[in-house]
Structure 1
């Protein structure tokens, strides 16, 4: 019971003081419940566990074959709940503060070529059982590539954000932070066509006594909007239709493609940071790998001694 109280108090503080998103708090809860379950099997809890116990838990995670990123996230969750407990006077120390994490290898993001993205956008126009499905799918793919949104930001877009033929789209990101991202002409066109179809469907539903939906991409499910999982499956199907390997295509690779293609064409890294909603430009700097070829090309084309 004490562990449950600690975790619930920690999660409430994350929401109230740091504006942590639901997905972030759900991840903390999963990590901490796994840790406290492991402790309980050893007659321990968050109040009595010591540094050696945390280290033993991490060794167990490694032995189970958990990925480096997963182990690093779990250690981060444990550190943060203990930091919260220390600050609130629930515990006099933080037994995890000096434990070195496994370290995350810096991997280049998987991305797609411009021709592959073109095939996906074209395939979306013909993928779907009905005209309404095809228009929705086209709008989803155009918005994703035009803005670099996270999939959770895309599927939860409110209808109000798309009204009035917007040149800029207001996106609510992690922690409730808002940002404005410009829309490309193809994305604006796809959005306008989808809105017209969606409004017509809403009018028919209203006449049948059904309530209107505030979501841009409504669904009959519990959430009221298209889910992340449903869109993940959808984008795999679109990849097959477009002749692109589905193993390469996820909603996040479209986000990477957005950033990579902007940088390749001379966009400023700070602007890309703003578009992606990264709190720290260091997160965005991973995309600078695409500059290597461009810089070499500049040197070979313009340096006075290059021809020698």
Structure 2
């Protein structure tokens, strides 16, 4: 007996949560897209054919290419699930639109801007020297020094960093665990701040009965940017995470190692996220390529002996 769209969507989301470890926000977004598609097809999404999916494509015409690509991707996964579970005999998803999208490169900050932020932090520490300044220093050191996501950072447990342990283990998106190296600077900054955190607190950055919010973190960074002479709209926790990745890659970090540190499931995400400017690539080839002499000239190719 054929089940309803509602039940099929529930089962699909359950599989994503259990088998793929999909994050809560991902499940909410997928569920919203699928229920909207079901409503457009009068509750007959599970049995939709080519004509029905073309109708969806027509309904999505006014949306951005990114939105259409996302909705199509969700439905393709849904129909693949239906076929795999024997809930329908075929997969009609080829009829869904395939808009070409170009993923925008994330914003970042140059080395000079990062230096300005730390100068502003030093000045604030010298002028005030209060615990809130120590907290902000620890937050920025962990954002830029370890590439943590905002949610990961603000929700760190009180004893996430232990003694001289130069790393911590995080559970990030999709429930995936990863090892994150922590610099000596960041560990020292956290140790200074931790002295001001009551021993009975659950979180390293407590606020009220919970932890510091992402919104407050965003506000603190914008205040710091203004003090450093940087346009506040240029900075966010994600921008500092991207600066961490970009600067490591420019310094010669291995892309696979960077993927692990950032917690990306797909290295393609890392490749987009950690763009390197073309000037640096040219410099890298000229200085590191085995056939270049380091000054832009060619080395003679060794003759092979026959």
TM-score, normalized by length of structure 1? 0.81
Partner-residue secondary structure (3-state), 2:46: coil
Within the alignment, does 1:21 sit opposite 2:19 as a pair? Answer: no
| Aligned counterparts of 1:131 and 1:213: Cα–Cα separation in 2 | 19
**Alpha carbons 2:68, 2:97 under 8 Å: kept:** no
- Does residue 112 (structure 1) correspond to residue 132 (structure 2)? The answer is no
- What is the aligned partner in structure 2 of residue 237 from structure 1? 223
Q: Is the 8 A contact 2:167 2:179 kept in 1?
A: yes
| Structure label with greater radius of gyration | 2
Which residue in 1 is equivalent to 2:261? 275
State the partner residue of 1:302.
295
Q: Is 1:263–1:287's contact at 8 Å kept on the other side of the alignment?
A: no
> How much has 1:146 moved relative to structure 2?
0.8
Question: Structure 1 196/111 Cα, relative in aligned 2: closer, same or farther at 3 Å?
Answer: same
Equivalent residue, structure 2, for 1:253: 239
Q: Secondary structure at the match of 1:278?
A: coil
Given the alignment of the two structures, is residue 82 of structure 1 paired with residue 79 of structure 2, yes or no?
Answer: yes
Deviations 1:252-281 (A, max 9, x none): 211111111111112222221221122232
Where do 4+ consecutive residues of structure 1 move more than 6 Å?
none
State the Cα distance separating 1:156 from its structure 2 match.
Answer: 2.4
Q: Structure 1 residues 4, 239: CA separation in 2 closer, same or farther (over 3 Å shift)?
A: farther
Quote the Cα distance in structure 2 between the aligned partners of 1:130 and 1:91.
66
Report the RMSD for the aligned CA atoms in angstroms. 2.8
Q: Deviations over 1:196-235 (max 9, x none)?
A: 111xxx25xxxxxxxx4422222336xx323333333333
Conserved in 1, the CA contact under 8 Å of 2:169 and 2:178? yes
Give deviations 1:1-43, integer Å, cap 9, x for gaps: 933322222111111111112222122123223323333xxx3
After superposition, residues 64-79 of structure 1 pair within 5 angstroms as 66-79=63-76
Count matched residues: 287
Distance 1:227 1:81, change over 3 A: farther
Structure 1, unaligned stretches of length 5 or more? Answer: 204-211
Distance 2:223 2:59 in 1: 38
* 1:8/1:287 CA distance change after superposition, 3 Å: closer
The 8 Å contact of residues 162 and 216 in structure 1, kept in 2 or not, is answered as no
Counterparts of 1:44-59 in structure 2 under 5 Å?
A: 44-59=43-58
Q: Are the equivalent residues in 1 in contact too, given 2:117–2:225 (CA < 8 A)? A: yes
Question: 5+ unaligned residues in a row in structure 2: which ranges?
Answer: 288-293, 300-306
Superposed CA deviations along residues 52-108 of structure 1, whole A, max 9, x for unmatched, are 333333343341xx4332322221112222222222222333332453421320433
Larger proportion of helix: 1
